[in-house]
Amino acid sequence: MNDSGENKNINSAVEENYRKYINPTLARLFKFGGYNGVEWEASGSYVTMHDGRRFLDMAGGYGVFSAGHCHPAIVKAVKDQIERMPLSAKVFMNKPAGDLARALAEITPGDLQFSFFCNSGTEAVEGALKLARLATGKHEIIAAKNSFHGKTMGSLSASGRDLFKEPFMPLIPGVKHVLFGDADALESEINEDTAAVILEPVQGEGGINVPPDDYLPEVREICSRNNVLFIADEVQTGLGRTGKKFAVEHWGVSPDIMTLGKALGGGVMPVAAFMGTPAVWKVFEKHPLIHTSTFGGGPAACAAGVAYIKVMIEEKLPEQADKTGGYMMEKLDEMRGRHPDVIEAVRGKGLMIGVELTDVGLGGAMIMEMAKNGLIGVYTLNQPKVIRFEPPLNIKKEDVDWALEIFEKAVTETRNLLLK
Ligand code: PLP
DSSP secondary structure letters along 157-216: HHS--HHHHGGG-S--SSEEEE-TT-HHHHHHT--TTEEEEEE-SSBSTTT-BPPPTTHH
pLDDT for residue 118: 98
Contacts of 77 by beta carbon, 8 Å cutoff, 6+ apart: 303, 304, 306, 307
Average pLDDT, the chain: 95
Q: Residue 399: beta bridge partners?
A: none
**pLDDT confidence of 382, banded at 50, 70, 90?**
confident
Contacts of 91 by beta carbon, 8 Å cutoff, 6+ apart: none
Q: Which residue among 314, 347, 370 closes a domain?
A: 314
Q: Domain check: are 41 and 122 in the same one?
A: no
DSSP 378: E
Given the CA of residue 270, which atom of ligand 1 is nearest to it?
A: 15
CA separation for the pair 353, 62 (Å, rounded): 11
* 274 flagged as catalytic: no
pLDDT (tens digit per residue) in 71-80: 999 999 999 9
As a 3-state breakdown, the chain gives helix, strand, coil percent values, each rounded to 5, of: 45, 20, 35
Q: Domain check: are 273 and 136 in the same one?
A: yes
Q: What is the CATH number of the domain that holds 377?
A: 3.90.1150.10
Query: pTM score > 0.85 for this model?
Result: yes
Q: What is the CATH number of the domain that holds 149?
A: 3.40.640.10
pLDDT (tens digit per residue) in 151-207: 999 999 999 999 999 999 999 999 999 999 999 999 999 999 999 999 999 999 999
Q: State in Å: Cα 316 to ligand 1 middle.
A: 24
- Tell which wins on pLDDT, 8 or 204: 204
**pLDDT confidence of 4, banded at 50, 70, 90?**
low
DSSP strands (E only) in 238-350: 257-260, 272-276, 343-349
Q: State in Å: Cα 31 to ligand 1 middle.
A: 24
Q: Domain check: are 323 and 310 in the same one?
A: no
pLDDT for residue 85: 98
Given the CA of residue 205, which atom of ligand 1 is nearest to it?
A: 5
200 close to ligand 1 (CB < 6 Angstrom): yes
* 148 flagged as catalytic: yes
Q: Residue 357: beta bridge partners?
A: 343
25 domain residue, yes or no: no
CB 351 within 8 A of CB 325: yes
91 domain residue, yes or no: yes
pLDDT for residue 35: 83
234 close to ligand 1 (CB < 6 Angstrom): no
* 31 flagged as catalytic: no
User: Domain range spanning residue 78?
Assistant: 72-314
pLDDT (tens digit per residue) in 319-371: 999 999 999 999 999 999 999 999 999 999 999 999 999 999 999 899 999 99
Q: Domain check: are 303 and 379 in the same one?
A: no
Q: Domain check: are 113 and 200 in the same one?
A: yes
CA separation for the pair 47, 64 (Å, rounded): 14
Which phi-psi region, left, alpha or beta, contains residue 227 (left: φ > 0; alpha: ψ -120 to 50)?
A: left
**Phi, psi (5° rounding) for residue 355?**
-115, 110
Look at strands 343-349 and 352-357 and give their pairing.
antiparallel
Q: Domain check: are 55 and 95 in the same one?
A: no
Among protein residues, the one with the nearest Cα to ligand 1's atom 12 is 121
Distant-in-sequence contacts of 76-82, Cβ < 8 A, 24+ apart = 76/307, 77/303, 77/304, 77/306, 77/307, 78/266, 78/268, 78/269, 78/300, 78/303, 78/304, 78/307, 80/303, 81/299, 81/300, 81/303, 82/300
The type of residue at 35 is Y
258 domain residue, yes or no: yes
pLDDT (tens digit per residue) in 273-307: 999 999 999 999 999 999 999 999 999 999 999 99
**Phi, psi (5° rounding) for residue 2?**
-85, 110
CA separation for the pair 19, 239 (Å, rounded): 36
Q: Domain check: are 294 and 252 in the same one?
A: yes
pLDDT for residue 6: 75
Q: State in Å: Cα 2 to ligand 1 middle.
A: 36
332 domain residue, yes or no: yes
pLDDT for residue 3: 55
pLDDT for residue 214: 98
Find, among 146, 199, 222, the residue nearest to 383 by Cα: 146
393 close to ligand 1 (CB < 6 Angstrom): no
CA separation for the pair 113, 111 (Å, rounded): 6
Among protein residues, the one with the nearest Cα to ligand 1's atom 7 is 150
**pLDDT confidence of 1, banded at 50, 70, 90?**
very low
pLDDT at 2 over 60: no
Which helix (H) or strand (E) segment holds residue 6: the answer is: helix 5-17
Q: State in Å: Cα 135 to ligand 1 middle.
A: 23
Alpha helices in 183-298 (DSSP H): 183-188, 215-225, 278-281, 283-286
Look at strands 257-260 and 194-199 and give their pairing.
unpaired
Cα angle at 414 between 65 and 366, to 5 degrees?
Answer: 20
**Overall number of domains in the chain:** 2
Q: Domain check: are 236 and 330 in the same one?
A: no
Q: Which residue among 314, 336, 352 closes a domain?
A: 314
pLDDT for residue 199: 98
Q: Domain check: are 170 and 247 in the same one?
A: yes
Q: Domain check: are 335 and 195 in the same one?
A: no
pLDDT for residue 174: 97
pLDDT (tens digit per residue) in 83-112: 999 999 999 999 999 999 999 999 999 999
Q: Domain check: are 362 and 283 in the same one?
A: no
7 domain residue, yes or no: no
Q: Which residue among 253, 279, 314 closes a domain?
A: 314
Inter-CA distances, 182 with 215, 219, 252, Å? 7, 9, 18
Q: State in Å: Cα 347 to ligand 1 middle.
A: 20
187 domain residue, yes or no: yes
- The stretch 402-412 carries a mean pLDDT of 97
- The stretch 255-275 carries a mean pLDDT of 98
347 domain residue, yes or no: yes
Among protein residues, the one with the nearest Cα to ligand 1's atom 1 is 149
pLDDT at 32 over 80: no
Q: Domain check: are 115 and 239 in the same one?
A: yes
23 domain residue, yes or no: no
